[in-house]
A and B are shown apart, each in its own frame.
Chain A
Amino acid sequence: MQTFPIQKIVEHGPGVKSFYFEQTFEALPGQFVNLWIPGVDEKPFSISCEQNGLTEISVKAYGPFTQELMKKKVGERLGLRGPFGHGFSLKENSLLIGGGIGIAPLRRLAQELSDLGMRFVSLLGAATEHELIFKSHFQEISTCYFYTDDGSFGEKGLVTEHLLQIIQDEKIEYIYAAGPEIMFVKVKELIDPLSIPYEFCMERYMKCGIGICGQCVLDDSGVRLCVEGPVLNQDDLKGVTELGKVHRNATGRRE
């Protein structure tokens, strides 16, 4: 286990922060690291940026672990190991659909696509304005569509509201999505008939991160999300019967 002091913390708004560490993982967009809070627990997080020798991890306070993380201060040491998993492929004329903190892994993808001079469009949604993290950055490098649940920024509503129209208008040939699972279900329902290939960046409870414990295996495919995921394409997802329905908790029980 390698541990690193927190170099910098940026607060995007209440309960949403980015933590910076002086270490790079040369991770592909979509890959993740396991973040250890000594004495607390260890959880997987995607990398939102790797630049100038710094790795950035963006987190929304959600459960006990992320609440604990919010209390951490600059200089405190956290463990990071990785990069783990299989990241996004890089395709031209793509649409990046991000929901809530799912915008974090897309930030890294957007940067990479932009650096390679590949055209993409961003479709980002969140509960409220401050949860649309990195919105000015996305605006600088792409055409953007924004949605918020409360209408505080962009259109009021969900990212799926005008999805088909946007795909048509923007001549989209590839789709990336990261966000809550209910969003994947809706997006999948809308785009499956179009035969546009896609990739979803998914989440499951993980223990080892190295493909042996079986905790994050998806029914009925046998796909280990920590190794073959967290980014899965439409073919990987064909055998996944649990999408939007059930997931396994720490005991392994379906819920």
Chain B
Amino acid sequence: MKTNFLNLQLNSPLVLASGILGLTASSMKRVVDNSCGAVTTKSFNLEARKGHPNPSIVPFEHGLLNAVGLSNPGAEEAIKEIERFKQVSDAPVFASIFGRTIDEYGKVAEIAVKAKPHLIEVNVSCPNVRSEFGTPFGDVPEDTAAITRLVKQVAGDIPVSIKLGPHGPGIARMAKVCEENGADAITAINTVGPGMLIDINVQKPVLSNKTGGVSGPAILPIAVKSVYEVYKNVSIPIIGTGGVTHWQDAVQMILAGASLVSLGTAVYYEGIDVFNKINMGIQTYLEKFGYESIEDFRGGAH
């Protein structure tokens, strides 16, 4: 299912979301071999981070609660994996970056561009490092504006997408701030929360970090609504993500206005094969309604 996005051509509108199977080239290659259109690396910053101790990812009835804590091998090591991936695959690779400070975003982006990723996704909305970083930059319009300008300055020809969460002063308003400051796309949304689960016998929170971001089916309605609102408020394209598990969820995202749809937690429920299954489902939907491509129904719910 050929899909155009910005200046890119993808074999599918589906993208591997950041934080899932995106640590290494071999892992991302395997996802592309299962019909994923593009892959996003695990978020990285300047220095290597261990992240939070385990348990860092725990399932509950309607999704996952995670506080991995932005573990990553550091930007210089992370771009080696992007370079390796580009040697073994033609699929676009998106570099997900973050910083502990606004300035660090610029420095990490400088390193990221060396590997020439097809897009830089700027994570300003991770909800599980509040204890360390405080309020996410993505909740503060001035900070988000500054980070967007900084990364755009460094990125050159490489398009930049800002990954926003559903919190803060409103995602539609924040998306507008990004657009006004030069962003080429919006990724909506990050995990939701933070949330908490408590073990009733130990009588303590299960996550070592106590709180973490919620993903999976539980957050699909929040994600669909967020994409819908962003689509109304900006004209740059949207990578819709959050709780997409089945093809019907992906179709909802596209009807709300997403140009691409990212999957992460779905791999837990449906296996790596989930990309094949959702592609097939979307194809059947196109045929049923007589559409030629997903562009024919994008934003159709408005």
Instruction: Contact check, B54 vs A207: say whether CB atoms are below 8 A apart.
Output: yes
Selected from A36, A222, A252, the residue in CB contact (under 8 A) with B42 is A252
| Contact present for B24 and A251 (CB under 8 Å) | no
The reply to whether the CB of A169 lies closer than 8 angstroms to some CB of chain B is: no
Contact residues in A for B50 (Cβ distance below 8 Å): 249-251
B-chain residues with CB within 8 Å of residue A218 when the two chains form the complex: 26
Choose from B33, B49, B264 the contact partner of A251 (Cβ within 8 Å): B49
Question: Assuming the A-B contacts A39-B204, A212-B268, A219-B26, are A1 and B55 also in contact, with contact meaning beta carbons closer than 8 angstroms in the complex?
Answer: yes
Q: Return A83 CB to nearest CB of chain B, in Å.
A: 14
- The answer to whether A214 and B21 have CB atoms under 8 Å apart is yes
Q: Which of A41, A79, A220 is the one whose CB lies under 8 Å from B53?
A: A41
Complex: chain A residue closest to B202, CB-CB: A38
- Contacting residues, chain B, for A210 (C-beta < 8 A): 57, 59, 268
> Cβ of B265 < 8 Å from any Cβ of A?
yes
- In this assembly, does A7 line the interface, its C-beta being within 8 Å of a C-beta of chain B? no
Query: How far apart sit A251 and B81, CA to CA, in the bound complex (Å)?
Result: 14
Q: Are B68 and A42 in contact (CB under 8 A)?
A: no
Of B72-80, B219-227, B241-249, the one with at least 4 CB within 8 A of chain A: B72-80
> CB-CB < 8 A to A252: which residues of B?
23-24, 42, 48, 71-73, 77
- Per the 8 Å Cβ criterion, residues 49-66 of B in contact with A are 49-51, 53-59, 64
A204-235 vs B, Cβ < 8 Å mask (1 yes, 0 no): 00011011111101111110100000000000
**A208 touching B49 by the CB < 8 A rule?**
no
* A38 contacts B199, C-beta separation under 8 Å: yes
In the complex, chain B residues whose CB is within 8 Å of the CB of A245? none
- Closest residue of chain A to B81 (Cβ to Cβ) is A252
Identify 7 residue pairs between A and B in the complex whose beta-carbon atoms are under 8 Å apart, listed by A's number: A40-B53, A211-B271, A213-B57, A214-B27, A219-B26, A248-B23, A253-B74
Contact A212 B24 (CB under 8 A): no
Task: State whether B26 touches A77 (Cβ < 8 A).
Answer: no
Contact B55 A250 (CB under 8 A): no
| Bound complex: CA A215 to CA B42 (Å) | 10
Chain A residues whose C-beta falls within 8 Å of the C-beta of B56 in the assembled complex: 207-208
B29 contacts partner chain A, Cβ-Cβ < 8 Å:
yes
By the criterion CB–CB under 8 Å, are A251 and B74 in contact?
Answer: yes
State whether A220 touches B26 (Cβ < 8 A): yes
Compute how far the CA of A221 lies from the CA of B33 in the bound complex, rounded to whole angstroms: 12
Q: Is the CB of A41 within 8 A of B58?
A: no
Q: How would residues 5 to 47 of chain B score, 1 for a CB under 8 Å from any chain A CB and 0 otherwise?
A: 0000000000000011111111101100100000000100000
8 Å CB contact of B68 from A79, A213, A217, A220? A213
B54-A41 in contact (CB<8A): yes
Cβ of B267 under 8 Å from chain A? yes
Chain B residues whose CB sits within 8 angstroms of the CB of A250 once the complex forms: 50-51, 71
Pairwise interchain contact B27-A251, C-beta atoms closer than 8 A? no
Check: A23 CB closer than 8 A to any chain B CB: no
Question: Shortest beta-carbon distance, A64 to chain B, in Å?
Answer: 10
Asked if A214 and B202 make an inter-chain contact with CB atoms under 8 angstroms apart, the answer reads no
Q: Is A160 an interface residue (CB 8 A)?
A: no
Per the bound structure, the CA–CA distance linking A213 and B72 in Å amounts to 12
- Is B77 within 8 A of A41, CB to CB? no
A212 lies within 8 A of B30 (CB): no
**A41, A208, A248: residue with the most chain B Cβ atoms closer than 10 Å:** A208
* Known A210-B59, A214-B21, A217-B23: A251·B71 in contact at CB below 8 Å: yes
Determine the distance from Cα of A36 to Cα of B208 in the docked complex, in whole angstroms. 10
- Across-interface contacts of A251 in B (CB, < 8 A): 48-51, 71-74
**What residues of chain B lie closer than 8 Å to A12, measured between beta carbons?**
none
Let me know if B201 is at the binding interface, CB within 8 A.
yes
A18 adjacent to chain B (CB < 8 Å): no
A214 near B206 (CB under 8 angstroms)?
no
B22 engages A212 (CB within 8 Å):
no
A3 contacts chain B at the CB level, 8 A cutoff: yes
- Determine the distance from Cα of A173 to Cα of B202 in the docked complex, in whole angstroms: 47
Q: Is B54 in contact with A212, judged by CB distance below 8 angstroms?
A: no
Residues of B within 8 A of A79 (CB): 55, 199, 202, 206
Q: How far is it, in angstroms, between the C-alpha of A212 and the C-alpha of B57 when the chains are bound?
A: 9
Query: Given A207-B51, A217-B21, 13 more contacts at CB 8 Å?
Result: A3-B199, A210-B268, A212-B21, A212-B57, A214-B23, A215-B23, A217-B24, A217-B30, A250-B50, A251-B49, A251-B73, A252-B71, A252-B73
A156 at the interface (CB under 8 A from B): no
Q: How far apart are the CA atoms of A215 and B267 in the complex, in Å? A: 15
Judge if A130 is at the interface, Cβ distance under 8 Å. Answer: no
Most buried by A among B30, B54, B72: B54
Q: Contact check, B204 vs A38: say whether CB atoms are below 8 A apart.
A: yes
Check if B74 sits within 8 Å of A43, measured CB to CB.
no
For the complex of A and B, list the 9 residue pairs with the smallest distance between their C-beta atoms, beginning with the closest: A222-B30, A42-B54, A253-B73, A208-B57, A217-B27, A251-B48, A214-B21, A214-B23, A250-B50
**Nearest CB of B to A173, in Å:** 32
